[in-house]
Amino acid sequence: GGVIVNDESTCDVDPQRFILLSTGYCRTTKTFLALILGVPIVSIEWLTACEQSGTFLPPTGYLVRIPGRSSREPSQSGKYLMQEWTLGVEGNASFVKSWSTICRAAGATVIDGGITTLHTGRILVQKLPSASSRMSRLASEKGVVVITVDWLIDLIICPFNIMIYLG
Protein backbone atom coordinates (compact mmCIF):
# COMPACT_ATOMS: atom_id res chain seq x y z
CA GLY A 1 0.00 0.00 0.00
CA GLY A 2 0.93 3.62 -0.38
CA VAL A 3 0.77 6.62 1.91
CA ILE A 4 -0.65 10.02 1.01
CA VAL A 5 1.81 12.85 1.65
CA ASN A 6 0.10 16.12 2.50
CA ASP A 7 3.11 18.14 3.68
CA GLU A 8 4.46 19.99 0.64
CA SER A 9 7.52 21.14 2.56
CA THR A 10 8.91 17.58 2.44
CA CYS A 11 11.57 18.07 -0.22
CA ASP A 12 13.83 15.15 0.64
CA VAL A 13 12.06 12.45 -1.36
CA ASP A 14 13.32 9.51 -3.35
CA PRO A 15 11.76 9.88 -6.83
CA GLN A 16 11.85 6.09 -7.19
CA ARG A 17 9.45 5.74 -4.25
CA PHE A 18 7.03 8.63 -4.91
CA ILE A 19 4.51 9.54 -7.59
CA LEU A 20 2.13 12.45 -7.94
CA LEU A 21 -1.41 11.49 -8.94
CA SER A 22 -3.03 14.17 -11.04
CA THR A 23 -6.04 14.75 -13.24
CA GLY A 24 -3.73 16.68 -15.59
CA TYR A 25 -1.11 19.40 -15.57
CA CYS A 26 -1.86 22.18 -13.11
CA ARG A 27 0.27 24.98 -11.66
CA THR A 28 0.45 23.83 -8.04
CA THR A 29 3.22 23.60 -5.47
CA LYS A 30 3.05 19.79 -5.61
CA THR A 31 3.37 19.77 -9.41
CA PHE A 32 6.43 22.03 -9.41
CA LEU A 33 8.03 20.07 -6.58
CA ALA A 34 7.48 16.85 -8.55
CA LEU A 35 9.03 18.41 -11.66
CA ILE A 36 12.05 19.65 -9.69
CA LEU A 37 12.57 16.44 -7.75
CA GLY A 38 12.05 14.11 -10.72
CA VAL A 39 8.89 12.54 -9.28
CA PRO A 40 6.66 11.01 -11.99
CA ILE A 41 3.33 12.81 -12.44
CA VAL A 42 0.75 10.19 -13.41
CA SER A 43 -2.91 10.22 -14.33
CA ILE A 44 -5.62 8.74 -12.13
CA GLU A 45 -5.88 5.91 -14.67
CA TRP A 46 -2.59 4.56 -13.27
CA LEU A 47 -4.25 4.00 -9.89
CA THR A 48 -7.19 2.21 -11.52
CA ALA A 49 -4.85 0.01 -13.58
CA CYS A 50 -2.81 -0.87 -10.47
CA GLU A 51 -5.98 -1.78 -8.59
CA GLN A 52 -7.20 -3.98 -11.46
CA SER A 53 -3.85 -5.76 -11.81
CA GLY A 54 -3.34 -6.14 -8.05
CA THR A 55 0.21 -4.71 -8.21
CA PHE A 56 2.08 -1.44 -8.66
CA LEU A 57 2.59 -0.89 -12.39
CA PRO A 58 5.40 1.18 -13.89
CA PRO A 59 4.11 4.75 -14.26
CA THR A 60 5.64 5.17 -17.75
CA GLY A 61 2.42 4.62 -19.73
CA TYR A 62 0.42 6.94 -17.48
CA LEU A 63 2.61 10.06 -17.31
CA VAL A 64 0.79 13.39 -17.55
CA ARG A 65 1.78 15.64 -20.45
CA ILE A 66 3.47 18.84 -19.29
CA PRO A 67 2.98 21.76 -21.75
CA GLY A 68 6.32 23.03 -23.04
CA ARG A 69 8.19 19.85 -22.13
CA SER A 70 9.21 17.59 -25.00
CA SER A 71 9.25 14.43 -22.89
CA ARG A 72 6.83 13.13 -20.30
CA GLU A 73 9.73 11.45 -18.50
CA PRO A 74 10.69 13.06 -15.18
CA SER A 75 13.88 15.11 -15.25
CA GLN A 76 16.58 14.49 -12.67
CA SER A 77 18.26 17.90 -13.04
CA GLY A 78 15.77 20.01 -11.12
CA LYS A 79 17.33 19.59 -7.67
CA TYR A 80 20.34 21.60 -8.87
CA LEU A 81 18.45 24.06 -11.06
CA MET A 82 18.89 27.00 -8.69
CA GLN A 83 22.04 25.86 -6.91
CA GLU A 84 24.15 28.82 -5.77
CA TRP A 85 21.19 31.21 -6.15
CA THR A 86 20.38 33.57 -3.28
CA LEU A 87 16.77 34.54 -3.58
CA GLY A 88 14.04 36.47 -1.81
CA VAL A 89 10.35 35.89 -2.44
CA GLU A 90 8.00 38.88 -2.41
CA GLY A 91 4.20 38.56 -2.21
CA ASN A 92 1.37 37.44 0.06
CA ALA A 93 2.01 34.78 2.74
CA SER A 94 0.69 31.87 0.64
CA PHE A 95 2.81 32.86 -2.37
CA VAL A 96 5.93 33.27 -0.23
CA LYS A 97 5.42 29.90 1.51
CA SER A 98 4.78 27.93 -1.69
CA TRP A 99 7.52 29.47 -3.79
CA SER A 100 10.08 29.44 -0.98
CA THR A 101 9.51 25.67 -0.68
CA ILE A 102 9.81 25.21 -4.46
CA CYS A 103 12.98 27.31 -4.70
CA ARG A 104 14.63 25.51 -1.78
CA ALA A 105 13.84 22.17 -3.42
CA ALA A 106 15.63 23.45 -6.55
CA GLY A 107 18.74 24.25 -4.52
CA ALA A 108 18.30 27.98 -3.83
CA THR A 109 19.14 29.72 -0.59
CA VAL A 110 15.95 31.59 0.25
CA ILE A 111 16.28 34.70 2.39
CA ASP A 112 13.23 35.52 4.50
CA GLY A 113 11.88 39.07 4.40
CA GLY A 114 11.78 39.75 0.66
CA ILE A 115 13.46 42.71 -1.00
CA THR A 116 14.05 44.64 2.24
CA THR A 117 16.46 42.00 3.65
CA LEU A 118 18.06 40.95 0.36
CA HIS A 119 21.44 42.54 -0.39
CA THR A 120 22.25 40.74 -3.64
CA GLY A 121 20.88 37.94 -5.80
CA ARG A 122 17.36 37.62 -7.12
CA ILE A 123 13.86 38.50 -5.98
CA LEU A 124 10.90 36.39 -7.15
CA VAL A 125 7.64 38.25 -7.75
CA GLN A 126 4.21 37.32 -9.11
CA LYS A 127 4.41 39.94 -11.83
CA LEU A 128 6.92 42.59 -12.86
CA PRO A 129 6.58 45.79 -10.85
CA SER A 130 6.28 49.13 -12.62
CA ALA A 131 9.56 50.96 -13.16
CA SER A 132 8.51 53.64 -10.66
CA SER A 133 7.55 51.23 -7.85
CA ARG A 134 9.34 50.87 -4.52
CA MET A 135 10.28 47.30 -5.49
CA SER A 136 11.97 48.40 -8.71
CA ARG A 137 13.81 51.21 -6.94
CA LEU A 138 15.10 48.91 -4.16
CA ALA A 139 16.10 46.20 -6.64
CA SER A 140 18.01 48.74 -8.71
CA GLU A 141 19.75 50.23 -5.65
CA LYS A 142 20.80 46.79 -4.35
CA GLY A 143 21.69 45.25 -7.72
CA VAL A 144 19.00 42.59 -7.26
CA VAL A 145 17.59 40.87 -10.35
CA VAL A 146 13.78 40.73 -10.43
CA ILE A 147 12.35 37.49 -11.84
CA THR A 148 8.73 36.55 -12.31
CA VAL A 149 6.95 33.33 -11.47
CA ASP A 150 6.17 32.78 -15.16
CA TRP A 151 9.90 32.96 -16.00
CA LEU A 152 10.70 30.53 -13.18
CA ILE A 153 7.93 28.14 -14.26
CA ASP A 154 9.42 28.11 -17.77
CA LEU A 155 12.82 27.32 -16.22
CA ILE A 156 11.36 24.44 -14.16
CA ILE A 157 9.40 22.94 -17.07
CA CYS A 158 12.16 23.20 -19.63
CA PRO A 159 15.46 24.00 -17.88
CA PHE A 160 17.55 23.95 -21.04
CA ASN A 161 15.33 26.18 -23.12
CA ILE A 162 15.64 29.65 -21.55
CA MET A 163 17.14 32.55 -23.47
CA ILE A 164 18.92 35.04 -21.23
CA TYR A 165 19.88 38.58 -22.23
CA LEU A 166 23.28 39.33 -20.73
CA GLY A 167 23.89 42.89 -21.57
Give pLDDT tens digits for 31-49. Answer: 999 888 888 899 999 999 9
By the 8 A CB rule, do 64 and 25 touch? yes
Q: Write the pLDDT tens digit of every residue in 122-146.
A: 888 988 888 888 888 888 898 899 9
Amino acid at 142: K
Q: Could you write out the three-class secondary structure of 38-51?
A: CCCEEEHHHHHHHH
Q: Write the pLDDT tens digit of every residue in 89-121.
A: 999 999 999 999 999 988 899 998 888 888 888
How far is residue 103's CA from residue 66's CA, in Å, rounded to a whole number?
A: 19
- Best CA proximity match to 85, nearest among 116, 47, 46, 120: 120
Tell me, yes or no, if the pTM score tops 0.95: no
